[in-house]
Amino acid sequence: MNALPSQIAELRRDASRRLADAGHHSPALEADLLLGAASGLERTQLIAWPERALSAAQQQRFEQLIRRRLAGEPIAYLLGEREFWSLTLQVSPATLIPRPETETLVEQALKALPASAPLRVLDLGTGSGAIAAALAHERPDWTLIGIERNAEALGVAALNAKQLQLSNLGLLCSNWSNALGNACVDAILSNPPYVPADDPHLNQGDLRFEPLTALVSGGDGLDAIRAIIADAPRCLRPGGLLAIEHGWDQAPSLRALMQAQGFEAIETLRDLSGQERVTRARHSSAQSD
């Protein structure tokens, strides 16, 4: 067996070539990120010290990471973190990998709700805590509640809340909003599972490695969304906001479900790629607590 290259320049060059040959879009960046994870060095240090030799253990760790990446494992899981809303969040295979599309959900909440009011805002199915953490960071006067039924994912969210020092973010283990009282929150936000069970994308790319229960929700992908919308009028205060992320072709179904529950001011927002991504509405102010 050939010895692994030891110098940083050789390691970077060899890994970048292998990733490029496998069709990765940013092979040099991925190689540097994984080499940094294996060596504990920043990318600037990798560039500045090309002739530096790594230890045998660091080389072996790097080789393991490269092989896992070549097998398709998401780089966020290999690194154990992903940036969302300019925050570095811990992630694990128990959580979805936060995606830029979900920032649409954060943006609309920041615009739709008063910044300085002492609001109680719920993030249903919080996973890594990305949505709740972003809002807690931006709105210190709000109280964020992240609800997650998966204990392992909830542990990741708790770690993120602690590392980001978000004292206004609390976490609760529950199946959607079942643990909540009546008329207790001013807004409900959710990025629930919404992929249909037979969607071919589940066998492609990063989705192959992400938790199936956080992706799939029934034959049409709407089971979780139906449950959330059905219970939202009970939990929301009059005039409260409900906003849900969904698939590109599911907006008409969400609008119909919200209308059937008596919601008002129903509208769908598009993400940066132009796809219908978030549908929101207001709880009727005429309904009693």
Q: Which residues pair with 163 in a beta bridge?
A: none
Domain encompassing residue 48: 8-71
The 10s digit of each residue's pLDDT in 82-99 is 999 999 999 999 999 999
Mean pLDDT of 95-117: 95
Residues 22 and 89 in one domain: no
Asked whether residue 119 is assigned to any structural domain, the reply reads yes
Residues 199 and 275 in one domain: yes
Domain of 163: which CATH number?
3.40.50.150
Mean pLDDT of 192-216: 89
**What is the pTM assigned to this prediction?**
0.89
Domain of 36: which CATH number?
1.10.8.10
Residues 157 and 245 in one domain: yes
Distance CA 99, CA 77 (A): 13
Distance CA 149, CA 131 (A): 16
Handedness of CA 172, 175, 181, 186 (dihedral sign): positive
The 10s digit of each residue's pLDDT in 140-150 is 999 999 999 99
The 10s digit of each residue's pLDDT in 229-269 is 999 999 999 999 999 999 999 999 999 999 999 999 999 99
For the cut 90, the answer to whether the pLDDT of residue 75 exceeds it is yes
State the alpha helices, DSSP H only, in the chain: 8-21, 27-39, 43-48, 56-70, 75-79, 103-112, 130-138, 151-163, 223-235, 251-260
Asked whether residue 287 is assigned to any structural domain, the reply reads no
Asked whether residue 1 is assigned to any structural domain, the reply reads no
The 10s digit of each residue's pLDDT in 21-70 is 999 989 999 999 999 999 998 989 998 998 888 899 999 999 999 999 99
The structural domain count of the chain equals: 2
118 three-class SS: coil
**Strand 236-245 relative to strand 169-173, pairing:** unpaired
Residues 130 and 194 in one domain: yes
The pLDDT mean for the chain works out to: 92
Residues 165 and 271 in one domain: yes
Contact 110, 138 (CB under 8 A): yes
Asked whether residue 192 is assigned to any structural domain, the reply reads yes
